């Protein structure tokens, strides 16, 4: 599992006020597709360590943040830059799709 687990309580400081881009995987333990995406997110967290903050937010335990960003389906991976959500990918995606998006954000 990605080392970072965001919560309603620390989302503002960890994500919105982050000086580096942040990728948030909105998930739940009971969600089968989320379990498929989880290892991909973990790999990306290792690959982009020090460049992009990558972590997870359990929607069951942190419903306030999930509803604030209109997360209706999980897994939803939201890409933040300068405190703003700039892209959302819903459902299972390939590692390459996520990686491409992270690289685009870093290139901006």
31 included as an active-site residue: yes
Task: Specify the CATH number of the domain 4-107.
Answer: 3.40.30.10
The predicted structure's pLDDT at residue 40: 95
Catalytic residue among 4, 24, 34, 66: 34
**CB-CB neighbours of 107 under 10 Å:** 6
- For CA atoms 10, 88, 97, 29, give the dihedral sign: positive
Catalytic residue among 28, 31, 86, 90: 31
Helix (H, G, I), strand (E, B) or coil at 74: coil
Q: Domains of the chain: which residue ranges?
A: 4-107
Task: Identify whether 34 is a catalytic site residue.
Answer: yes
Please report how many Cα atoms fall inside a 13 Å half-sphere around the Cα of residue 23, on the Cβ side.
30
For residue 3, pLDDT over 90 is answered with no
Q: What was the pLDDT predicted at 43?
A: 96
pLDDT tens sequence across 42-95: 999 999 999 999 999 999 999 999 999 999 999 999 999 999 999 999 999 999
Distance from the first to the final alpha carbon of the chain: 28
């Amino acid at each position: 599992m990605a080392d970072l687990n965001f919560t309603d309580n620390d989302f503002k400081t960890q994500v919105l006020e982050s000086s580096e881009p942040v990728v948030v995987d909105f998930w739940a333990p009971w969600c089968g597709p989320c379990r498929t995406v989880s290892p991909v997110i973990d790999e990306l967290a290792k690959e982009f360590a020090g460049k992009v903050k990558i972590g997870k937010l359990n929607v069951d335990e942190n419903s306030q943040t999930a509803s604030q960003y209109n997360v209706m389906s999980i897994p939803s991976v939201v890409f933040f830059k300068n405190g703003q959500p700039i892209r959302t990918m819903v459902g299972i995606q390939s590692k390459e799709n996520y990686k491409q998006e992270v690289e685009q954000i870093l290139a901006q």
